[in-house]
Structure 1
């Protein structure tokens, strides 16, 4: 099997993995699988050697088109993770304020009345 065909298969697996919605419960396993597939793609890309046949050039064009969609979906996944982290941080701060409501009060800005 040529490297281009194998690269196309790995890219297609990555595309199919990102095509499905990723539940929050299985996100860690999915990210591990994405890392594995991206690592395998990097290895295959390093092994590419021209010249390419017409069939390999067509597969290369399909890989480029799939890669654009993969990039968009990876960016969307990154945004979801960022929003989840932000929500968790806000929830943590709200919980701390609930447990100790007077913790964040400042004492500066006091006013002393000196009337006699």
Structure 2
């Protein structure tokens, strides 16, 4: 197989991975590792891509270019979902910490809590 055919195969595999929803937290690490591996392979194929191209390679290249336009928004969507989940985790940690240390800071209404109970 030449580089363009490999690139088409890898791009289609990447689109297949990205078409589904973001997996649960248990399977997420392996899913993200798989996407990273496919992106690295795809990047190496893109770097090896060099003219001249035959007619079939040109047609396949156009197909790959169209598929590549679909990859970026899907990756951005996954990135946005992961970023939102990370923000929620950080907020819940902050809330839990504030709840656990409720009496350590001064109160807003000026009341005093006696810690010697």
TM norm structure 2: 0.85
Output aligned runs, 1:34-113, within 5 Å.
34-105=35-106
Unaligned runs of 5+ in 1: 108-116
TM norm structure 1: 0.85
Unaligned runs of 5+ in 2: 109-117
* Distance in structure 2 (CA, Å) of the matches to 1:85 and 1:72: 20
Structure with higher Rg: it is: 1
SS at match of 1:90: helix
Q: Spell out structure 1 runs of 4+ moving beyond 4 A.
A: none
Query: Given the superposition, is the C-alpha separation of residues 101 and 22 from structure 1 closer, same or farther in structure 2, using an over 3 Å criterion?
Result: same
Q: Is the 8 A contact 1:97 1:103 kept in 2?
A: no
> Aligned Cα RMSD in Å?
1.6
